[in-house]
Structures are given as structure tokens and as C-alpha cells.
Amino acid sequence: KTQVEQSPQSLVVRQGENCVLQCNYSVTPDNHLRWFKQDTGKGLVSLTVLVDQKDKTSNGRYSATLDKDAKHSTLHITATLLDDTATYICVVGDRGSALGRLHFGAGTQLIVIP
Amino acid sequence: DMKVTQMPRYLIKRMGENVLLECGQDMSHETMYWYRQDPGLGLQLIYISYDVDSNSEGDIPKGYRVSRKKREHFSLILDSAKTNQTSVYFCASSLRGDTEVFFGKGTRLTVV
């Protein structure tokens, strides 16, 4: 059973618009949550990591929230650029050690059009 | 420069052939991983290695084996490849399984 669900599956926005990506999970325990960006045909690049029970992070035009009580995270992208076109993957780590496992969502495919 | 390097990037093999996927990292990370990524699914863990000759099965190890003889190298071996092993394979590494994980660019394997 999928333990990390991302929505929407795909999203098209115009350059300059803002967008919000959602991640709901059932992983227990939930030590941390990380958002990755995956360009087509490329590897995963980390955008941000959230650790606290209720956490917020900001990294340039990317900002993210985590609510461990609700097991829910959001990734906000402001003023989108064409280069933001990619798949965004939510990953929940059940421990902060080598004994832990990473649980991957299937990703949200974001397409930014001119 | 912190890097995970995968070779080859693209590979086409016939069913029944043996396949060797190589992965290297230059960060002296102890923990390394092999994942596969299929359309519509999240990455699935094939094997995890905690250090040299200390490997454990992941969630989908059947049909695969691994080798880690040096800390910086982790190989994935498919003995007698099957068509359902067509996928994109990612190698990753982390320091003692820390929250920070670095991924390679992937190897696209097609088994025909």
C-alpha cells in the first residue's frame, strides 16, 4: 500500500504564477520529510528538509510546511519559471539513521508554460 | 565536489544476459542505496549497503544482487536479465544514513 500520496498528479501553470503541491503520508514513525526536484532524465536534487512536529522552511522561491499531526506537507513555488518544469517528489524518512527507510511518493509533474 | 556517479547512463540488454550497473561516490559515505523508478510509482529500494561487505535486502531484491568491496563503489548485478527489469535505476549515498541523501543521475536499462 502506498504510504506517501502526492497531489495533484500533474499541474500546468503559467510562468510567474504560484503553485502548491501536496503530500499526505501514513509512514510511522516520521522522522523527517524531504522534497526533491527531478528534472526529466536526471537524478533527484534536494530542495528542503523538514524535521520538526510543525515545521516551515524557505529556500528562495521554494517554501515548505510540515504538520506531523496531520501527516501532511506542502511545497509552495512562487513566481514560477520555465526551469521549474520538473517532477517534485515527497520523501518521508522513518528514522534519521542508516537503519531507517525512505518512503517515496510518485511525484507531481509540474509544467510551466510561457 | 560532492557527487554520485552512475555508469552507464543508458543500457540495452537482451533477456537472459547479465547486467552490471556501477555507482561511485566521492564523499566517503558509509551508506549506499540502489533504487528503481517506474512510471507512476515512487522509488523502490532494491538493496542498501551500510559499508564494505555489509549489504541488506530492500523491498524488491528478487532478481538482483549487489557488491561493495570498496566504500566508494557499489555495484548492482542482474544475473539473467528479465524484461520486467526494464526501469531507471538510481544509486544514492548518505553519511551514516543521515537525512541528507545524494542521488546519481540514473541508469536507464532496457531489457528486450
- Reported as a single tens digit per residue, the pLDDT across A76-105 is 999 999 999 999 999 999 887 767 889 999
Note the pLDDT of residue B73. 97
Q: Could you tell me where the beta strands, DSSP code E, fall in A1-114?
A: 4-7, 10-14, 19-25, 32-38, 44-50, 54-59, 62-67, 72-77, 86-93, 102-104, 108-113
If you average pLDDT over residues B47-62, what whole number do you get? 94
Cell of B105: 543521475
If you average pLDDT over residues B61-76, what whole number do you get? 97
pLDDT band of residue B58 (cuts 50, 70, 90) is very high
Per residue in A20-52, pLDDT (tens digit) is 999 999 999 999 999 999 998 889 999 999 999
Q: Which of B99, B101, B105, B107 to mutate to test the interface with A (most CBs of A within 10 A)?
A: B99
> Which H or E element spans position B57?
strand B54-57
Average pLDDT over all residues of chain B:
94
User: How far apart, in whole angstroms, are the C-alpha atoms of residue B112 and residue B13?
Assistant: 6
Name the residue among B41, B98, B101 with its Cβ closest to that of A106.
B41
If you average pLDDT over residues B83-93, what whole number do you get? 97
Note the pLDDT of residue B61. 97
Question: Would the pLDDT of A106 be above 70?
Answer: yes
Note the pLDDT of residue A96. 72
Note the pLDDT of residue A101. 87
CB contact under 8 A, B97 and A45: no
Question: Would the pLDDT of B18 be above 80?
Answer: yes
Weakest mean pLDDT among A51-65, A86-100, B13-27, B74-88: A86-100
Kindly identify which residue of chain B lies nearest to residue A98, measuring between CA atoms: B97
Note the pLDDT of residue B5. 96
Residues of A in contact with B68 (CB under 8 A): none
Q: What 3-state class would DSSP assign to B85?
A: helix
| Helical residues (DSSP H) of A28-100, grouped into ranges | none
pLDDT band of residue B98 (cuts 50, 70, 90) is low
pLDDT band of residue B97 (cuts 50, 70, 90) is low
Name the residue among B41, B44, B97 with its Cβ closest to that of A97.
B97
User: How far apart, in whole angstroms, are the C-alpha atoms of residue A102 and residue B17?
Assistant: 31
